[in-house]
Amino acid sequence: MTTTQNFNTWLTCWQPNPEAKLRLFCFHYAGGGALIFRNWPCYFSSSIELCAVELPGRGKRLLEPAYTKMKPLIQALSLALHSYLDKPFVFFGHSMGGLVSFELARQLRREYDLTPQHLFVSGCRAPQIPDPDPPIHQLSNSEFIEELRRYNGTPEAVLNNQELMDLLLPCLRADFAVLETYNYQSEPPLTCGITAFSGSEDQQVSQAEMLAWEYQTTADFCLQTLPGDHFFIHSHQSLLLQLLSQDMTNVLRSLIRLS
């Protein structure tokens, strides 16, 4: 029987596995939560333990104030996750989650001299490329909702439900504030490999912006293009997880060779 374990308020693991050789931390997109990764563990080897990150302001943390700036968010994440980095680990992040996982990897390197075995970024432009779109987090509710409709990540039924949107808007605004006030600072590239996943019809992030992740690593880089728009993480989930599972198997093989 599958069990759920809350390691702390930041992490949920649906299939705890103390014998796992590798820990996969998954970071959700703006407005999302840990539940988007609920069925992912069944796609991976029993040697991999999946831990889903949930930021404040949503899900089981709905009553907690959401972060609106990247730096304090990363500092809090570094403190919260440090004790769970006692075995080799990798990061996966989609959209906002990709940027958060990248900055967390750099923070862990600075603070603890720890580095992921691999960084998987999905639907997220390389951090050194400024966001070309004007900020939206301070728009009126009606204008903000119209911008969310353009992203095509929120069901129309939800966008048209005023009571539900009143509940979701503070978290969404906070997440967009994190992204739109982000200020990239140059540091040496990461020493772990980076794999980027891109949607062929993504109107928010171009192929060129995804390819630019290559400059953030001294190790191997790979760009994998999937069908779908910015939220191919849902529309083509099975294909994404098949590719991710293959890559994770390669990471495990590398660990075995080095052991």
Residue showing tokens 């808007």:
169
245 is catalytic: no
Question: Cα(125)–Cα(179) distance, rounded to whole angstroms?
Answer: 11
CA atoms within 13 A on the CB side of 1: 3
Question: Cα(35)–Cα(115) distance, rounded to whole angstroms?
Answer: 26
CA terminus-to-terminus distance, the chain? 32
Question: Cα(195)–Cα(249) distance, rounded to whole angstroms?
Answer: 14
Question: Cα(118)–Cα(184) distance, rounded to whole angstroms?
Answer: 21
Which of 66, 48, 44, 67 lies closest to 57, judged by CA?
Answer: 66
Answer yes or no: are the C-beta atoms of 254 and 192 closer than 8 Å.
no
Residues in the chain, overall count = 259
Cα angle: 37, vertex 40, 42; to 5 degrees = 150
The pair of structure tokens assigned to 4 is 């759920």
- Report helix, strand or coil for 85: coil
Which residue out of 78, 95, 101, 122 is catalytically annotated? 95
Catalytic machinery residues: 95
